[in-house]
Structures are given as structure tokens and as C-alpha cells.
């Protein structure tokens, strides 16, 4: 490679041509999950945990090298989270974990807490379903470099890979790290401390060079967001400084999850040797940017052309055409995934239940690596050398386009008709009157969010059904017994609007996906969600249709046991999309409407079965919000439209509830009002007044249930404390509009905690009613 452009040192490193941005680490059979959970529970020794981890790292690296990747990312392994790893590397763990002597235990204490230590917060990694640990930067945070982990993985990788394949350490970049951190203890914005991190990252570069690294990758996905308007300028300043380090590997700055915008030109003006662009999420605008930045011609462009986040097979013909247009834009074009394959399952090979045509449309992690290699080879040796693979890809693309499962004309025309007729329910006042007359609830009605504790009996029954030990009829009988128990409990507690407890649901999205046409639920498609927790998102591949009612039998059964109203419980269209792998051949809005139609049909069937209250959960409304401000309105418009499609098929007398798992509404607050649910239950971790004032400020005038019981903690709140919350709430919202409920579903709690807490909740509601 040519010497770097600026005054800095001469860096000579072989350019690479085929790589991935990062790899999953939980293990193809969730080995790391089992080992860490075993370690936490005291069942697995430290040595066994470390050996499982080492094996997973080795397998990941060898698989990449064997596939033909010529630069293997390392340090993408993590016992919990890469942002937490970075906090450790920078000496930025909060003082409260310092009391834990052992390093690994301290790390886990920061991630999960202990009996005496509050864990750090966790939040979604950009617009993915992966959660990172939010570093806390306080006035006393003293940054200091400890590169032990990355250096150890580099050494270990060199042993596995030998001399032939270069290992490329991956580290979260300083701008992303600070912009994702939160200020605590009255400290200023963490990003104001960027100048303290530059010398540490410079030192890191020196240590990596000494350890033999030719390349390093700094991840700066924050450049594709509008979190800070200063990010491009900061990137230019920081990477100019890092680029002039006296001793360093070649630097690759990876952006992903969208179009880096001005960030691309800013990075290109610095001495870094390679820049990564997500050509999938960044789309045409990112592609145009690449051509428009002349400084890129002296760099390696790491072209993220294979989708690292979704499960669709790459159209190799189209990808190659795109890559061809980039050849003049950079000195070297390296083929890569759009982002880390952390976000997709390991391999299609583990799916035995998949029909051949559907299989031919998909690519999981391992298959994506192969796609990268094929594309890199085509660029290097010519298209003819991979003609067979391209022909297979063309055939799959063609077959997918014409597969009958992709179009259900009846669904499409029904949606057009409903949209044309309008999805506005009757006036809120008329609805209220009709519902009051039907439900005859006391003021400050009490209810819960849906799920009751997932008892071991429930888990055992599910496992027994899966293994064939019991049949469907026996399983249903056991679930009904659970439902009966939950109804009895709620009657004894004196709750006003009951729920069936959701025992039959393994997961609030998968349960519906398994029953709808257009979805496939992988058996082994596990993806890390946070720490040791994994999810198995269903694949939404075709037009969605509902062959039969999905919840009516269960809810009707629950309703048959009581005179109190039982709430039907459904998951909303936005949340179903957010927690699935969604088809990429039509706008999300169209897919959302199809899911919404299925939910709408379910609400109508519930209503016909005599159910008077139906809750449509949308906990993911906020998380699908686009990363760029300019795209947010359009998203919120279709998200609200889909919810209304789902909920406007019922009569005025049917009460629609929705539930959101947060009260930091921010940019979605207007959309929450536009959902026009009769009752919205929300979290209220902040004071009730604040939450309700925010809603009042935008003219929200329907009913609201700010959670008075924090279910995220095992603590049983006292009645007095809940009365106090209600008094506070009543200052912001009149009694006619106020509901009393916990802040989320109860499935993660124990029955004794729930019973005690709900006893207090009902007592608190009674006391507050008496004071009206």
C-alpha cells in the first residue's frame, strides 16, 4: 500500500480484500450462554468457562480463514458486551463495582449487578435488537488504558491463524464510545472528554503494533446517526490525530447501520487507510457519497455489500454490478458484510425444517461469509471464475420473485379497501360512553399487563410437548389449568380487568409468527440479545395471512371462568416486525399493514366471542425509529397507520388498550397519542407527574395507566407508596382517565412476589378511590 497521505508515519500493511465486520460469539449451539449461566450459578468452573470461550474464538477464526477471508476480525468475542469491554479497556467502570476484586466477576457485576451493586443500564445498540451496556462517565472517571483483552486475543489468533492470515483487532472507536455513554454524578457530556481518549487510543495503537497487528478496526457506527451534529468534525480531528501516531497498524474505521453522510468525507480527509461503508442500510445515498469523495481514491474502501443484519441471500449479480461501479472510487475495494454478523444466526445448515425454495433465498452467518468470498474472487479474478455461484444466485432471485407465497391478492385487496374506507375509530368521547356503559368499572380501575409468572410447570409442559412426551391435548389441558389458576388469583386479589396470563406463549412475537402464513420460525436461529440472552426471530418472507384465529379459544376459556372482563392480548404490527427478520422486497409499511390486518381480524373475532377489552402491545414502537432525523416522520406515519389498521375494526364499545415498556417517550410521544388507544399503559420509572405532564403537554386525552409497581425488581412495593404515586398522578390526570397497573408483564417474577405486590396495588387503588 502507498504510504499514508499526511505528515504521519509511513504505515505499510497489505491491503485486504475479503472480510466481515465482526462475528457472533454466543456459539452455534449457544455454548457461551450455557457456560456463563453455569458460571453465574456456580455450576461451571472458571476454567471450563474460559475453555468454552477459547474454543468458540478459535472455531470462529478458523472458519473465517478456511472460507478464504484474508483479514480476520478478532476481539469481537465478548463475555457480555463489546461496549462494556471498551469501558474496561479505558478504565471507565463505575466506582461501585471496584469492591469486587476478581476482574471477571467485577465485569459481570457491572453487567448484571449483585445483591449489593446496581448494574449499569442496558439499551438497544442503534436500531438493532442487540443491547449494549451503557458506560457511566462521572466527574471521578479517570481514563486509563488496559489493553489486556485485545492483546490476548490478538496473540491467541496469531497462534490459530499462523502467518498466512492477518488478524485484525476490532475496538469500539472513541467517538461512538463517548456518544453512547451517559453522564452521571453531575458530570458534563461524556463527549466533552474526547481529548482524554485520544492519547489512550494512540497508546493502544502502539501496543497493537508492538504485538504484530498490521491492521486495527475502529467501529464508529455513531457516524450514521444524528446523535451529534459535531460527529463528522470530531471524527476528522480524532482520526487525524490517531493517524499521526508515531507507531501504529493501518487503521480501518468502520461505519455501519446507515449512510455515514458527511462523516465519510471527514474520515477520508484523515490519514486512516481504510473506511467501511454499509451499502445495504446506507443504500443509494451511501453509494453516491462514495463516488463523491475524491480522497477515498487513496484508501481501501471496505464495501459492506452483504447484509450482516438480515437473513436474505445476496443477489450476487446485483452486488457485483454495484462493486464494479466502486472500483474507480478507491485504491482497493475490499468486500465485507454491511455490519457484524452478530445480528444473524450462525448457519442455515442447522435448520432441518426448511423447504428447499425458502432455504435458497436465505443466508445466515456462515453463508454470508461464503458470499463475501465469492464476490471478492469475482472482483479479483473475474466473474467467470465464480459463474456457477452467480448462476445459482440468479436462479434463487428469480424463483423468489415468482413464488406464489409472496403474493396473496386477497390480503392485498382487503388492505386497499380498508385503507380507502379509513382507519379512524369513532370519536373518543362516544367510545368512552359506550365502554363505560358496557364495562361499569369503578374509577381508577385495576389491571395487569398480560403475563403472569412463567412457572416451572409451564416450562415443563412446553418441553414435554416438544419432546413428544405429551400430546397437544394434554398440553392444552395443562395450559388451561394455569389459566384457571391465574383467573382465580386475580378474582381473589380483586382486580377489575383480568388477563389470562399468557402461559401458552413462548414469546410474544413467535407465538403469532408460528400461526400466521408468510412466516417461518427457525429451530436453531439463535441471535444474542444481551449478555447470555438469545432470541430466535421468526423470518417474515411472504404475504401475511391468518388462516385461523390465534388467541380466541384461550381468551374465551378464561372469560368463561369469570364475570369480570378478561382482556384479549395481542402483539402489535410494529413489534412483530421489529422482532422478526423482515422481507426486503417491499416497503416495511406494506408488510406492517399485512400483519396489522391479521391482528385486526383477531380483534374482530375476539369481539364476536364477547371479549370487551383488547390490548395490542407495541413495546417496540420506539426502537424501530430510524437513525437519521429526516426519516423519522415517515416511519412514525406508517407505524401509527398500521396500529390503527389493527385496532379500528372493532365497535366503539370494545375498549382498546396498548402497552409501551418505557416512559422516555422523546420523539415518539406524538405518535403515542396518534395511536388513539382508549387506554395506554406505560412504565413510570420517573415520577408520575413528569410522565403524565409530558402526555398532557401534547394534548393526550385518552386514559392512561402509569405503572405503580416496578416489575423489573424483586422488591414488593408497599400500598402506601403506591397510594402516593396515585395521588401524584391524580394531580396531572383526572380520575376518570387514570388506570392502576404494574409497569410491564409479570412473567419474570415469582408468584409470591406478584401476589404480595398486587394485593398492595388493589389496596392502594381502593384507598385512592376513597379519597376522590
Binding residues: 30-33, 124, 129, 449-451, 502, 533-534, 579, 617, 623, 659, 661, 674, 683, 744
By a kind-dependent CB cut-off of 5 to 8 A, residue 617 interacts, out of ligand GLN, Zn ion, none, with ligand GLN
Q: Which is nearer to Zn ion, 342 or 740 (CB)?
A: 740
Under DSSP, the state recorded for 498 is B
Q: Is 288 exposed, middle or buried (0-12, 13-18, 19+ CB in 10 A)?
A: exposed
Distance between CA atoms of residues 768 and 734, nearest Å: 12
In whole angstroms, the minimum distance from the beta carbon of 647 to ligand GLN comes to 15
The separation between the first and the last C-alpha atoms of the chain, rounded to the nearest angstrom, is: 77
| Residues in contact with 687: Cβ distance below 8 Å, sequence separation at least 6, in sequence order | 728
CA distances 582 to 187, 320, 362, 660, Å, are 41, 24, 12, 22
In whole angstroms, the minimum distance from the beta carbon of 662 to Zn ion comes to 8
In whole angstroms, the minimum distance from the beta carbon of 123 to ligand GLN comes to 15
By a kind-dependent CB cut-off of 5 to 8 A, residue 259 interacts, out of Zn ion, ligand GLN, none, with none
Q: Which is nearer to Zn ion, 191 or 661 (CB)?
A: 661
Q: Which is nearer to ligand GLN, 25 or 131 (CB)?
A: 131
Q: What's the CA dihedral at 307, 309, 313, 316 to 10 degrees?
A: 0
Cell numbers standing for residue 724:
402516593
Distance between CA atoms of residues 117 and 96, nearest Å: 7
Cell numbers standing for residue 465:
410437548
Strand partners, 185: none
In whole angstroms, the minimum distance from the beta carbon of 431 to ligand GLN comes to 22
Q: Taking phi first (over 0 means left), then psi (-120 to 50 degrees means alpha), and beta for anything else, what does residue 231 get?
A: alpha
Asked if 722 is part of the footprint of Zn ion (rule: CB under 5 A), the reply reads no
In whole angstroms, the minimum distance from the beta carbon of 625 to ligand GLN comes to 17
In whole angstroms, the minimum distance from the beta carbon of 55 to ligand GLN comes to 34
Provide the 10 A C-beta neighbour count for residue 102: 10
* Cα four-point dihedral sign 66, 70, 76, 77: positive
Distance between CA atoms of residues 600 and 572, nearest Å: 10
In whole angstroms, the minimum distance from the beta carbon of 682 to Zn ion comes to 9
Q: Which is nearer to Zn ion, 215 or 452 (CB)?
A: 452
Instruction: Pick out the residues of the known binding site for Zn(2+).
Output: 659, 661, 674, 683, 744
Distance between CA atoms of residues 247 and 216, nearest Å: 13
H or E, element range at 647:
helix 632-647
* Cα four-point dihedral sign 30, 85, 335, 15: negative
Provide the 10 A C-beta neighbour count for residue 183: 17
- Reply yes or no on whether 712 is catalytic: yes
SS (HEC) of 57-99: HHHHHHHHHHHCCCEEEECCCCCCCHHHHHHHHCCCCCHHHCC
Q: Which is nearer to Zn ion, 425 or 747 (CB)?
A: 747
Q: Nearest to residue 728, comparing CAs of 686, 673, 757? A: 686
In whole angstroms, the minimum distance from the beta carbon of 741 to Zn ion comes to 11
Asked if 684 is part of the footprint of Zn ion (rule: CB under 5 A), the reply reads no
The site that binds Zn ion (CB under 5 A) totals a number of residues, namely 3
Q: What share of the chain is helix, strand, coil (3-state, %, to 5)?
A: 50, 15, 40
Looking at residues 591 to 650 of the shown chain, list those that interact with Zn ion (rule: CB under 5 A). Answer: 619
Looking at residues 419 to 448 of the shown chain, list those that interact with Zn ion (rule: CB under 5 A). Answer: none
By a kind-dependent CB cut-off of 5 to 8 A, residue 451 interacts, out of Zn ion, ligand GLN, none, with ligand GLN
By a kind-dependent CB cut-off of 5 to 8 A, residue 345 interacts, out of Zn ion, ligand GLN, none, with none
Instruction: Pick out the residues of the known binding site for L-methionine.
Output: 449-451, 502, 617
Under DSSP, the state recorded for 566 is B
Contact 345, 58 (CB under 8 A): no
By a kind-dependent CB cut-off of 5 to 8 A, residue 208 interacts, out of Zn ion, ligand GLN, none, with none
By a kind-dependent CB cut-off of 5 to 8 A, residue 539 interacts, out of ligand GLN, Zn ion, none, with none
CA distances 694 to 77, 622, 668, Å, are 41, 16, 11
Distance between CA atoms of residues 312 and 362, nearest Å: 4
By a kind-dependent CB cut-off of 5 to 8 A, residue 707 interacts, out of Zn ion, ligand GLN, none, with none
Q: Which is nearer to Zn ion, 223 or 661 (CB)?
A: 661
Segment lying near Zn ion (by CB under 5 A), choices 258-266, 515-523, 653-661, 753-761: 653-661
In whole angstroms, the minimum distance from the beta carbon of 441 to ligand GLN comes to 20
Provide the 10 A C-beta neighbour count for residue 626: 17
Cell numbers standing for residue 369:
461469509
In three-state secondary structure terms, 404 is helix
Return residues touching ligand GLN (CB under 6 A): 449-451, 502, 508, 569, 617, 619, 659, 661, 744-745, 747
Q: Which is nearer to ligand GLN, 214 or 502 (CB)?
A: 502
Backbone angles phi, psi at 157, to 5 degrees: -65, -40
Q: Which is nearer to ligand GLN, 282 or 450 (CB)?
A: 450
In whole angstroms, the minimum distance from the beta carbon of 545 to ligand GLN comes to 24
Instruction: Pick out the residues of the known binding site for 5-methyltetrahydropteroyltri-L-glutamate.
Output: 30-33, 124, 129, 533-534, 579, 623
**Mode of pairing for the β-strands spanning 539-545 and 517-520:** antiparallel
| Residues in contact with 505: Cβ distance below 8 Å, sequence separation at least 6, in sequence order | 451, 511
Looking at residues 451 to 480 of the shown chain, list those that interact with Zn ion (rule: CB under 5 A). Answer: none
Strand partners, 658: 616, 680
Segment lying near Zn ion (by CB under 5 A), choices 146-154, 219-227, 587-595, 655-663: 655-663
Contact 518, 540 (CB under 8 A): yes
Q: Which is nearer to Zn ion, 280 or 684 (CB)?
A: 684
Of the candidate residues 160, 216, 722, 744, the single one contacting Zn ion (CB under 5 A) = 744
H or E, element range at 409:
helix 409-421
By a kind-dependent CB cut-off of 5 to 8 A, residue 599 interacts, out of Zn ion, ligand GLN, none, with none
Under DSSP, the state recorded for 241 is H
Q: Is 356 exposed, middle or buried (0-12, 13-18, 19+ CB in 10 A)?
A: exposed
By a kind-dependent CB cut-off of 5 to 8 A, residue 639 interacts, out of Zn ion, ligand GLN, none, with none
Segment lying near Zn ion (by CB under 5 A), choices 151-159, 177-185, 450-458, 654-662: 654-662
Distance between CA atoms of residues 237 and 243, nearest Å: 10
Segment lying near Zn ion (by CB under 5 A), choices 135-143, 327-335, 656-664, 688-696: 656-664
Exactly one of 131, 343, 500, 712 is catalytic; which is it? 712
In whole angstroms, the minimum distance from the beta carbon of 711 to Zn ion comes to 8
Asked if 661 is part of the footprint of Zn ion (rule: CB under 5 A), the reply reads yes
Q: Which is nearer to Zn ion, 316 or 599 (CB)?
A: 599
Instruction: Pick out the residues of the known binding site for L-homocysteine.
Output: 449-451, 502, 617
By a kind-dependent CB cut-off of 5 to 8 A, residue 508 interacts, out of ligand GLN, Zn ion, none, with ligand GLN
By a kind-dependent CB cut-off of 5 to 8 A, residue 141 interacts, out of ligand GLN, Zn ion, none, with none
Provide the 10 A C-beta neighbour count for residue 203: 14
Q: Which is nearer to ligand GLN, 33 or 567 (CB)?
A: 567
Select the residue whose beta carbon is closest to ligand GLN and give its number: 745
**Mode of pairing for the β-strands spanning 122-124 and 166-172:** unpaired
- Binding residues for Zn ion, rule: CB under 5 A, are 619, 661, 744
Active site residue ranges: 712
Amino acid at each position: 500500500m502507498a504510504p499514508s497521505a499526511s505528515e504521519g508515519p509511513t504505515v505499510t500493511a497489505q491491503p485486504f480484500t475479503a472480510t466481515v465486520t465482526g462475528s457472533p460469539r454466543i456459539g452455534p449451539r449457544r455454548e457461551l450462554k450455557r457456560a456463563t449461566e453455569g458460571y453465574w450459578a456456580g455450576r461451571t468452573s472458571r476454567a471450563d468457562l474460559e475453555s468454552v470461550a477459547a474454543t468458540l474464538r478459535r472455531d470462529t477464526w478458523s472458519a473465517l480463514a478456511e472460507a478464504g477471508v484474508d483479514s480476520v476480525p478478532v476481539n469481537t468475542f465478548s463475555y457480555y458486551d463489546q461496549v462494556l469491554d471498551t469501558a474496561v479497556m479505558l478504565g471507565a467502570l463505575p466506582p461501585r463495582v471496584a469492591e469486587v476484586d476478581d476482574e471477571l466477576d467485577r465485569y459481570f457485576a457491572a453487567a448484571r449487578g449483585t445483591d449489593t451493586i446496581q448494574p449499569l443500564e442496558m439499551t438497544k445498540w442503534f436500531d438493532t435488537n442487540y443491547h449494549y451496556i451503557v458506560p457511566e462517565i462521572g466527574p471521578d472517571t479517570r481514563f486509563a488504558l488496559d489493553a489486556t483483552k485485545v492483546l490476548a486475543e490478538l496473540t491467541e489468533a496469531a497462534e490459530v491463524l499462523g502467518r498466512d492470515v492477518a488478524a485484525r483487532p476490532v475496538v469500539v472507536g472513541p467517538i461512538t464510545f463517548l456518544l453512547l455513554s451517559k453522564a452521571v454524578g453531575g458530570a458534563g457530556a461524556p463527549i466533552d472528554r474526547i481529548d482524554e481518549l485520544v492519547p489512550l487510543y494512540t497508546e493502544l495503537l502502539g501496543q497493537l503494533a508492538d504485538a504484530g497487528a498490521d491492521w486495527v478496526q475502529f467501529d464508529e457506527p455513531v457516524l450514521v446517526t444524528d446523535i451529534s451534529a459535531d460527529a463528522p468534525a470530531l471524527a476528522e480531528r480524532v482520526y487525524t490525530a490517531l493517524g499521526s501516531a508515531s507507531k501504529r497498524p493501518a487503521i480501518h474505521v468502520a461505519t455501519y447501520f446507515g449512510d455515514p453522510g458527511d462523516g465519510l468525507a471527514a474520515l477520508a480527509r484523515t490519514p486512516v487507510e481504510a473506511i467501511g461503508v454499509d451499502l445495504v442500510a446506507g443504500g443509494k445515498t451511501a453509494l453516491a457519497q462514495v463516488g463523491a469523495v475524491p480522497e477515498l481514491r487513496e484508501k481501501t474502501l471496505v464495501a459492506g455489500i452483504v447484509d450482516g443484519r438480515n437473513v436474505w441471500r445476496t443477489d450476487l449479480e446485483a452486488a457485483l454490478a454495484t462493486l464494479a461501479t466502486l472500483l474507480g472510487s478507491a485504491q482497493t475495494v475490499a468486500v465485507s458484510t454491511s455490519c457484524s454478523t452478530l445480528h444473524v444466526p450462525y448457519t442455515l445448515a442447522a435448520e432441518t425444517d426448511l423447504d428447499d425454495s425458502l432455504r435458497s433465498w436465505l443466508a445466515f452467518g456462515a453463508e454470508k461469509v461464503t458470499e463475501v468470498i465469492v464476490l471478492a474472487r469475482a472482483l479479483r479474478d473475474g466473474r467467470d471464475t465464480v459463474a456457477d455461484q452467480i448462476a445459482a444466485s440468479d436462479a434463487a432471485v428469480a424463483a423468489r420473485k415468482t413464488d406464489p407465497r409472496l403474493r396473496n391478492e386477497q390480503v392485498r385487496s382487503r388492505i386497499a379497501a380498508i385503507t380507502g374506507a379509513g382507519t379512524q375509530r369513532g370519536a373518543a368521547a362516544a367510545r368512552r360512553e359506550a365502554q363505560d356503559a358496557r364495562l361499569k368499572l369503578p374509577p381508577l380501575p385495576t389491571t395487569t399487563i398480560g403475563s403472569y409468572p412463567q412457572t416451572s410447570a409451564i416450562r415443563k409442559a412446553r418441553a414435554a410437548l416438544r419432546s413428544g412426551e405429551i400430546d397437544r391435548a394434554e398440553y392444552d389441558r395443562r395450559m388451561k389449568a394455569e389459566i384457571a389458576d391465574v383467573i382465580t388469583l386475580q378474582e381473589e386479589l380483586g382486580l377489575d380487568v383480568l388477563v389470562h396470563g399468557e402461559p401458552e406463549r413462548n414469546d410474544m412475537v413467535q407465538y403469532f409468527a408460528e400461526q400466521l402464513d408468510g412466516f417461518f420460525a427457525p429451530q436453531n436461529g439463535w441471535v444474542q440479545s444481551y449478555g447470555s440472552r438469545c432470541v430466535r426471530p421468526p423470518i417474515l418472507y411472504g404475504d401475511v395471512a391468518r388462516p385461523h384465529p390465534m388467541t380466541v379459544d384461550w381468551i374465551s376459556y378464561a372469560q368463561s371462568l369469570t364475570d369480570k372482563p378478561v382482556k384479549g392480548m395481542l402483539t402489535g404490527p410494529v413489534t412483530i416486525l421489529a422482532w422478526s427478520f423482515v422481507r426486503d422486497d417491499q416497503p416495511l409499511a406494506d408488510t406492517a399493514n399485512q400483519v396489522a390486518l391479521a391482528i385486526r381480524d383477531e380483534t374482530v373475532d375476539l369481539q364476536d366471542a364477547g371479549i370487551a377489552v383488547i390490548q395490542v402491545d407495541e413495546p417496540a414502537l420506539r426502537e424501530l425509529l430510524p437513525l437519521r432525523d429526516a426519516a423519522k416522520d415517515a416511519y412514525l406515519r406508517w407505524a401509527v397507520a398500521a396500529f390503527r389498521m389493527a385496532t379500528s375494526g372493532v365497535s366503539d364499545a370494545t375498549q382498546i388498550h396498548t402497552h409501551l415498556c418505557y416512559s422516555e417517550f422523546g420523539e415518539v410521544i406524538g405518535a403515542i397519542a396518534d395511536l388513539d388507544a382508549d387506554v395506554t399503559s406505560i412504565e413510570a420509572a420517573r415520577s408520575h407527574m413528569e410522565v403524565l405532564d409530558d402526555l398532557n403537554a401534547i394534548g393526550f386525552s385518552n386514559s392512561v395507566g402509569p405503572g405503580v409497581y416496578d416489575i423489573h425488581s424483586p422488591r414488593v412495593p408497599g400500598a402506601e407508596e403506591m397510594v402516593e404515586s396515585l395521588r401524584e398522578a391524580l394531580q396531572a390526570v383526572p380520575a376518570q382517565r387514570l388506570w392502576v397497573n404494574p409497569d410491564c408483564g409479570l412473567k419474570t417474577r415469582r408468584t409470591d412476589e406478584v401476589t404480595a405486590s398486587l394485593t398492595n396495588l388493589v389496596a392502594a387503588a381502593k384507598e385512592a378511590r376513597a379519597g376522590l
